[in-house]
Amino acid sequence: MSARRRLSLGQRLVIAAPYLWIAAFFLAPMLLVAKISVSQSVLARPPYRPIFQFSDSLAELWAKALDFTLDSYRALVSDTLYLESYLSSLTIAAVATLITLIVAFPFALAMARAPERLRPILIGLAVAPFWTSFLIRVYAWIALLKDEGLINNALMAVGLISAPLQMYATPGAVVVGIVYSYLPFMLLPIYAALERQDESLREAAADLGASPAQVFLRVTLPLSRESVIAGSLLVFIPAVGEFVIPDLLGGSETLMIGRTLWNDFFSNHDWPAASAAAIALVALLMVPLLLWERARLKEEGGR
Amino acid sequence: MSAAASFARRATLLAGFVFLYAPIVILAAMSFNASRLVSVWGGFSTKWYAALLDNEQLLQSAKISLAAAFVSATIATLLGLLAAVALARFGGFRTRLLFFGAVHAPLVLPEVVLGLALLTCFVALGVGRGFVTLVIGHVTLTMCFTTVAILAALRDCDPTLEEAAMDLGATPPEAFLRVALPRIAPAIVTAFLLAFTLSLDDLVIASFATGPGATTLPMRIYSQVRLGVSPQINAISTLLLALVAVALGLAAAVSYWRGRRK
């Protein structure tokens, strides 16, 4: 990192607006959530105690800052609803990420190997749905997956099944929703990596006697490793905290932490519990990110 | 390439695009279904579109969503531009790491967490929730996306050109406005459109940040969807999809035309 220096007045003016905005509407609220997560839950509005006020003296502020409880965090560990929500979120997100990868890789490969003049059109078509409403794309799957929906009707019409399969309101439906909604995040990095790959590397491998399968496994796949990791993180991280997809497709039985948190906040009005769950969720997501960042730095340092 | 490989490639592409587009196409087709049931085709009808025009609540929400998207995308693009300039051109100033982290954090933060944080903050400050808090929420959500988009363009834009302009007597703001800004203009437009679509589409942050009187279109759609599939929702969805399709088509045509002219 370059030497730290003081900014000129003009530079300070440039940075002031975004800095103040982030401090006021992101950093301060996050600190407040951290504070509420160690506060007592009470039946009032706002439903937690103690509350800081501008009129507080320094001594009062200090006393309030010291008045904290770890009850909400204890509840996170002892309440099976939370543990199950976290585990189920991680499982659903992991399964969905894997399936997204399995769907996206051949798709990206087919696009990267298409004639060059077609590639911009193909990638444009593949990303276009991303610009349309997420909510609408998830909603579209309800009509497909329901008991009297189109997939069940089609399967029954051809005689493959005699009674409708239950697909809607299951964890499987949530996985389908995640794969569908987040496909572009996996597709784009993998396509970019595959498109950049030098064709002569594959030709060289083939000339040296590698079969097409060997060329794929020993040249194409290892060279796209980074993009697979990046795409997987881009799908996995938002999927863990997802609210809309489990709420619309998962039914009441499918637990996911984003939804548990929402219910705690809006239905149960337990702000300390919801805040503790939010802080724990952030900590949970930081782990894969930090591991990735460390691996990346190590690799860069090794070069 | 062998015939088998070429066939496999085409089959994969076809399967991929069917997966991506079939749900959307079916959704749009259902909006013209006279029957209320998903599984029964009751003939072609535009009655659900007519019903939309009578739905005051829905139209009102659409207006609020468009206004919030426009205002928040404008603010987020300006703040994102300033933040990107600071990160790309100011070198290693003190607290840069904090600034960098805080600017990028909402990218990986679950929306429920950001929404919860904003709501607790508004309540603690005693601010009444409505259009203003909705805009604040959306700016906070979309600012990281605009910053990333503009920052990438600014990094590709050689700073020595600005230095040359300053050597020739331009002040730093002049050098930026007359040398760098025209070159990153396409990225600024992209950033604005990205923020606009994200805001227009957002359900989670809006549900936390807004109050009575400023219900957005996604919130309206969501509350109706929870009651079940309704052809009216299909109709409004189809209109929104058509809007995006036209915008994307125009963008593609413009870039094609510019490519031809070069």
pLDDT digits (tens, 9 = 90+) for B160-210: 888 899 899 888 888 888 888 988 988 899 899 889 989 998 999 999 999
Instruction: Report strand pairing: A48-49 vs A40-41.
Output: antiparallel
Q: What count of other Cβ atoms lies within 10 Å of the Cβ of residue B206?
A: 27
Answer whether residue A185 is part of any domain: yes
Query: Three-class SS string for chain B?
Result: CCHHHHHHHHHHHHHHHHHHHHHHHHHHHHCCECCCCCCCCCCECCHHHHHHHHCHHHHHHHHHHHHHHHHHHHHHHHHHHHHHHHHHHCCCECCHHHHHHHHHHHHHCCHHHHHHHHHHHHHHHCCCCCHHHHHHHHHHHHHHHHHHHHHHHHHHCCHHHHHHHHHCCCCHHHHHHHHHHHHHHHHHHHHHHHHHHHHHHCCHHHHHHCCCCCCCHHHHHHHHHCCCCCHHHHHHHHHHHHHHHHHHHHHHHHHHHHHHHC
Residues facing B26 on adjacent strands: none
| pLDDT at position A271 over 90 | no
Which residues in A lie closer than 8 A to residue B227 (C-beta atoms)? Answer: none
Give the per-residue pLDDT at B38: 67
**CA-CA distances (angstroms) from residue A221 to A197, A227, A292, B98?**
11, 10, 19, 36
Find the mean pLDDT for residues A267-292: 83
Domain limits, chain B? 56-261
The pLDDT of residue A1 is 42
Give domain status of residue A21, yes or no: no
- pLDDT in the model for residue A36: 86
**CATH number reported for the structural domain that contains residue A149 in this entry:** 1.10.3720.10
Structure confidence at residue A45 (pLDDT):
64
Which among A25, A32, A136 is the nearest to B241, CB-wise? A136
Chain A residues 253-292 within an 8 A CB cutoff of chain B: 258, 261-262, 265, 271, 274-275, 278, 281-282, 285, 289
A278-300 average pLDDT score: 79
B93/A132 touch (CB, cutoff 8 Å), yes or no: no
pLDDT of residue A4: 58
Contacts of A156 in chain B (CB under 8 A): none
Query: What is the gyration radius of the CA atoms in chain A, in angstroms?
Result: 25
- Would you tell me which CATH number, out of the four given (1.20.1250.20, 1.10.3720.10, 3.40.50.800, 3.30.590.20), belongs to the domain B56-261? 1.10.3720.10
A187 or A254: which leads in pLDDT: A187
- The ipTM is 0.85
Average pLDDT, chain A: 84
Cβ contacts (< 8 Å) between A6 and chain B: which residues? 93-94
> What's the farthest any 2 CA atoms get from each other in chain A?
80
| Residue A51 within a domain | no
Three-class SS of residue A31?
helix
* Percent of chain B residues topping a pLDDT of 70: 98
In terms of C-beta density within 10 A (0-12 exposed, 13-18 middle, 19 or more buried), how is residue A78 classed? Answer: exposed
Per-residue pLDDT, A108: 94
Does A48 reside within a domain?
Answer: no
Decide if A124 and B110 are in contact by the 8 Å CB cutoff: no
The shortest C-alpha distance from B99 to chain A (Å) reads 7
Q: What is the DSSP letter of A129?
A: G
Q: Which domain holds residue A137?
A: 79-302
The helix (H) or strand (E) run that includes residue A40 is: strand A40-41
Q: From A273, which residue of chain B is nearest by alpha-carbon distance?
A: B116
How many beta-carbon contacts under 8 Å exist across A and B?
232
Q: Which residues of B touch A144 (CB under 8 A)?
A: 23, 26
| Statement: residue B94 has pLDDT above 90 | no
CB contacts, 8 Å: A23 with chain B: 102
Taking the CA atoms of B192, B244, B111 and A102 in sequence, report the sign of the dihedral they define: negative
pLDDT tens digits for range B138-151: 999 999 999 999 99
Contacts of B192 in chain A (CB under 8 A): none
Higher per-residue pLDDT: A273 or B135? B135
Residues listed for chain B? 262
Q: Can you tell me the mean pLDDT for A169-180?
A: 93
The DSSP bridge partners found for residue A41 are A48
CA distance B39 to chain A (A): 6
The pLDDT assigned to A303 comes to 47
B235 neighbourhood in chain A, CB within 8 Å: none
Q: How close is the nearest chain B Cα to the Cα of A155, in Å? A: 13
Q: Could you tell me if residue A197 is inside a domain? A: yes
Name which of A166-175, A203-212, A270-279, B41-50 the model is least confident about. Answer: B41-50
Does residue A23 belong to any structural domain of this protein?
Answer: no
**Residue percentage of chain A with pLDDT more than 70:** 90
Q: Sign of the C-alpha dihedral, residues A195, A200, A203, A204?
A: negative
* Distance (Å) from the alpha carbon of A287 to chain B's nearest alpha carbon: 12
The residues facing B33 across adjacent strands are B44
- What is the domain count for chain A? 1
CA distances from B230 to A139, B35, B44, B61 (A): 10, 10, 16, 18
Q: What is the pLDDT of residues A44-54, one digit of tens each?
A: 667 777 666 66
User: What's the one-letter identity of residue A168?
Assistant: Y
Tell me: the pLDDT tens digits for A64-100? 766 677 778 887 777 788 888 899 999 999 999 999 9
Question: Which one of A7, A101, A113, A135 makes the best mutation probe of the B interface by having the most chain B beta carbons within 10 Å?
Answer: A135
Mind listing the pLDDT tens digit for each residue in B113-128?
A: 999 999 988 988 888 8
**pLDDT(B16) > 80:** yes
**Alpha carbon distance B86, B172 (integer Å):** 13
For range A187-205, the mean pLDDT:
90
Residue B80: the pLDDT is 95
Categorize the per-residue pLDDT at A161 as very low, low, confident or very high, splitting at 50, 70 and 90: confident
Residue B112 to residue A241, Cβ atoms within 8 A: yes
Q: How confident is the model at residue A109 (pLDDT cuts 50, 70, 90)?
A: very high
Closest listed residue to residue B115, CA positions, set A49, A25, A40? A25
Confidence of residue B1 (pLDDT cuts 50, 70, 90): low
Cβ under 8 Å to A: B residues 99-138: 99, 102-103, 105-106, 108-114, 116-121, 123-124, 136-137
Q: Do A15 and B90 touch (CB under 8 A)?
A: yes
Give which of B108, B141, B189 to mutate to test A binding, by max A Cβ within 10 Å. B108
